[in-house]
Amino acid sequence: MQKRFLGTGGLAVSALGFGCMGLSYGYSPGVDRATGIRIIQSAFESGITFFDTAQAYGALNEEMVGQALAPVRDQVVIATKFGFRGGDVGQGLDSRPGSIRAAVEGSLRRLGTDRIDLLYQHRVDPDVPIEDVAGTVRDLIHEGKVRHFGLSEAGAATIRRAHAVQPVAALQSEYSLWWREPEKSVLPVLQELGIGFVPFSPLGRGFLAGAIDEHTAFDKGDFRTTVPRFSAANRRANARLVEALGRLARDRGVTRAQIALAWLLAQKPWIVPIPGTTKPHRLQENARAAAVELDTRDLSAIEEALRPIAIAGDRYPAHLQKRVDR
């Protein structure tokens, strides 16, 4: 798989990464430790060298990543995140310098490593100046515990302020064919400052792959049960997008997921999507998307086909939308 660079500090990663959240968090039920380790190792064998986890995903998640990648530690880039009190999303935000240091020590221990390749602030904490956050990560970089600094769901002004203290290698935010807001104000700033972009949920939390429809029943612990965009009515309305993607994919001889990922890769050479899955066949399908090249004619056809389709439903419930920095 081809490499891409995030930021200007030499952080080279595979063109597609692997989002590990769903292995144990968010999309209940997750998988057991042994299965999670096998999936992560299969991702590496498929050419993926960039793995994304977080303190907030639970101890098991970071432990699976660490155990799976220990034999190839020097060949991979591991990203994790801090930013919630005690690592518990329910307890609220906490990016105080002491809390960042405690989170890093815990992540290093669970990952079984001596450094974190890319450390993100999981969500912007309005109670802690971003300069203090960036300064703390800068110190951790100088100490050798962290290599690169990242932000997640940060707005343009916050990105600029953080970058002035410690260069930001990557911003992680949602971006896909059904959530294109980053194009308005974030992507131009990233291009200007030389910051990479890591789209999470590049397949619309599974919806763009075509495996979810209005009749899909989610487990009661599944995060999507709280998301307005995943109400039965909105899934029915948004089926137009999936149908259009299906037609485009058939024309190219690929799958919906592959054309959605290839579209992201074609937007900028510094964009690295991180699809996640618990299914081996989906992992292989996603990995093959890195070889799908879309030319200007393909991209124009996608724009023309999808432009008339309005997306129904908010991407977050109101209480979570408040944590998105704008």
Q: How far apart are the first and last CA of the chain?
A: 34
What is residue 294's predicted lDDT score, i.e. its pLDDT?
95
By DSSP bridging, strand 50-52 and strand 77-82 are parallel
What is residue 34's predicted lDDT score, i.e. its pLDDT?
98
| DSSP helix/strand/coil, 14 | strand
Distance CA 284, CA 43 (A): 8
CB 150 within 8 A of CB 118: yes
Q: What is the value of pTM for the model shown?
A: 0.96
User: Could you list the pLDDT tens digit for every one of the 326 residues in the chain?
Assistant: 999 999 999 999 999 999 999 999 998 789 999 999 999 999 999 999 999 999 999 999 999 999 999 999 999 999 999 999 999 999 999 999 999 999 999 999 999 999 999 999 999 999 999 999 999 999 999 999 999 999 999 999 999 999 999 999 999 999 999 999 999 999 999 999 999 999 999 999 999 999 899 999 999 889 899 999 999 999 999 999 999 999 999 999 999 999 999 999 999 999 999 999 999 999 999 999 999 999 999 999 999 999 999 999 999 888 888 888 76
Number of domains in the chain: 1
206-234 residues labelled b (16+ CB within 10 A) or e (exposed): bbbbbebeeeeeeeeebbbeebebbeeeb
Q: H/E element holding 198?
A: strand 196-200
- Is residue 72 situated within a structural domain? yes
Domain of 160?
Answer: 3-321
What is residue 197's predicted lDDT score, i.e. its pLDDT?
98
- Is residue 278 situated within a structural domain? yes
- Is residue 326 situated within a structural domain? no
Which tokens sit at 5?
A: 């660079």
Respond yes or no: is residue 120 known to be catalytic.
no
Q: Sign of dihedral through CA atoms 252, 15, 50, 316?
A: negative
- Is residue 101 situated within a structural domain? yes
Taking Cα atoms as reference points, which of 267, 273, 146 lies closest to residue 208? 273
What is residue 75's predicted lDDT score, i.e. its pLDDT?
98
- Is residue 311 situated within a structural domain? yes
- Is residue 239 situated within a structural domain? yes
Residue 169's Cβ-count burial label (10 Å; 0-12, 13-18, 19+) is buried
Taking Cα atoms as reference points, which of 324, 59, 22, 12 lies closest to residue 169? 12
What is residue 326's predicted lDDT score, i.e. its pLDDT?
66
| DSSP helix/strand/coil, 237 | helix
CATH number of domain containing 261:
3.20.20.100
- Is residue 236 situated within a structural domain? yes
What is residue 316's predicted lDDT score, i.e. its pLDDT?
87
The single residue of 25, 27, 57, 175 carrying the catalytic annotation is 57
- Is residue 224 situated within a structural domain? yes
